[in-house]
A and B are shown apart, each in its own frame.
Chain A
Amino acid sequence: MMENVSFASTGAHARPVDLPVKMHGRKVEVFYGQKQALHGVDLEIPERQVTALIGPSGCGKSTFLRCLNRMNDTVEGARVVGDITLDGEDIYNKNIDVVELRARVGMVFQKPNPFPKSIFENVAYGPKIHGLAKNKAHLREIVETSLKRAGLFEEVKDRLDEPGTGLSGGQQQRLCIARAIAVSPEVILMDEPCSALDPIATATVEELIDELKQNYTIVIVTHSMQQAARVSQRTAMFHLGRIVEVGPTEKMFSNPDDKRTQDYITGRFG
């Protein structure tokens, strides 16, 4: 799991060594109206690694995830302070094209949400609106490659014209992953992508995450400790809007430094 990766330390703000940083949040604060949801979060997201965000409900992990592609912009009254960069570039800069940002930083949600269109159209939609396909043949190629990468192509290749909503839950989620991949993102954010799936579909998606990290940087929010331990290389533990510990996943789940992490992962919280 951790081959060729070494980490300098495992303290609250430990940073990965020898890994390029894809995204970097510094002193991130988020307010929903008067309520402050994040209190100065610092986190580096290493490139082509899976970073898991864990913590009890309301701890701010999903809020932080949504900051990474400015999904919080769509929430009324939400205000983000601090600094988040993608390849060193401030994503909250006013010159940033948010639509383009969301193509570079894609998102997969908790509940599979395919468009009420055919399987083909679900995947082709993004490349079309972003003008990524040179012609129909190219578009077809993008759709096919994306479905293959999402591990879905073999199951749907004979029924690409059928509605995406007719697929099983696990297939729908992989369709959503194919849709996210189709616009060639660099980062994929996943907000509890398996919580609505059965164990087999969950295993398929986890296998997929493992393959996707060869090409993409992945940030996943999950409530399943076992899932975080299985799929991620780095884990950040959130509590009351702050990161209390971040470090290599192996260390976080075998011998964490912070008592709150220990209590949370062993089911002692509260």
Chain B
Amino acid sequence: MTEHTVTSYGEELRNLVRRISEMGGQAERMVAQSVQALINSDWGLAQSVVADDVLLDAAQRELDERAILVIGKRQPMAVDLREIVGAIRISNDLERIGDLAKNIAKRVIAVSEHSQPIQLVRGIEHMAELALDQLKDVLDAYADRDPARAESVRSNDEAIDAMYTSIFRELLTYMMEDPRNITPCTHLLFSAKNIERIGDHATNIAETIYYIRTGEQMPAERPKGDRTPSLTAPRPAVAGAGADATAGE
């Protein structure tokens, strides 16, 4: 795009973009580390995620202040205004992603005190991989201002939602099999929910990128994917259904 006549204005905008990229990298790292800590019962790593969240929160507040300053000073129009409002929105989503990662990290002790079926943690690991891919894709889409890529991020969110629904069913089954599973499985369930929410924030960011680039809202939203509110507990094993129990919808 053509440069601003006032070069310091252009520099201020680039600075906001740079900060978003940094925040994005940090949020990505926190998500990866929190899940890693959960899988490996690594309390040290979990603590470092909790500490990093303070920094991400501070970065978000600072970005807000800078963005407001640019609006006050430059009275931006059109694409510049969308760029700034977009930065405020994206930094807010990234800050929330950091909070969710921190929340997963905080559950590491509670989960690691109990032994839980290995495939459950694998399921969460796989779900986290999907969410991290989404996060990476959306940050790339931001760097390139690529509305097509942003659209594909939104449509890919469905896979995370489907995965969450399946983990939800599985965890319920384990809890019913043995009440001693309830504590760790509840924490895992919250962790899975957090990852699902991280996917939703990636979708929000995708919608913001689309708006920054085109000036229009992303068309026709797909139906929201969390179907667990309408799920009931599977029948207990005595009914012969076991882990494959069909949940009534």
Binding site for B on A (CB under 8 A): 225-226, 229, 253-256, 262-263, 265-270
Contact = CB atoms under 8 A, between A and B. Distances in A.
A268 B78 contact: no
A254 B6 contact: no
B216 to A, nearest CB: 7
A262 B1 CA distance: 10
Contacts of B77: 225, 229, 253-254, 265-267
Rank and list the top 8 A-B pairs by shortest CB-CB distance, nearest first: A255-B215, A268-B2, A265-B77, A266-B80, A266-B77, A263-B2, A268-B4, A267-B4
Interface string B37-80: 00000000000000000000000000000000000001111111
A255 B213 CA distance: 10
A270 B3 CA distance: 9
Contacts of B6: 267
A156 B75 CA distance: 35
The majority secondary structure among interface residues of chain B is loop
Nearest to A269: B5
Contacts of A268: 1-5
B190 interface: no
Interface string B1-29: 11111100100000000000000000000
B217 to A, nearest CB: 11
A256 B6 CA distance: 21
B81 interface: yes
A255 B216 contact: yes
Contacts of A265: 77-78
24 contacts: A225-B75, A226-B75, A253-B77, A254-B77, A254-B82, A254-B215, A255-B79, A255-B214, A255-B215, A262-B78, A262-B79, A265-B77, A265-B78, A266-B76, A266-B77, A266-B78, A266-B79, A266-B80, A267-B5, A267-B9, A268-B4, A268-B5, A269-B2, A270-B2
A268 to B, nearest CB: 4
Contacts of B4: 266-268
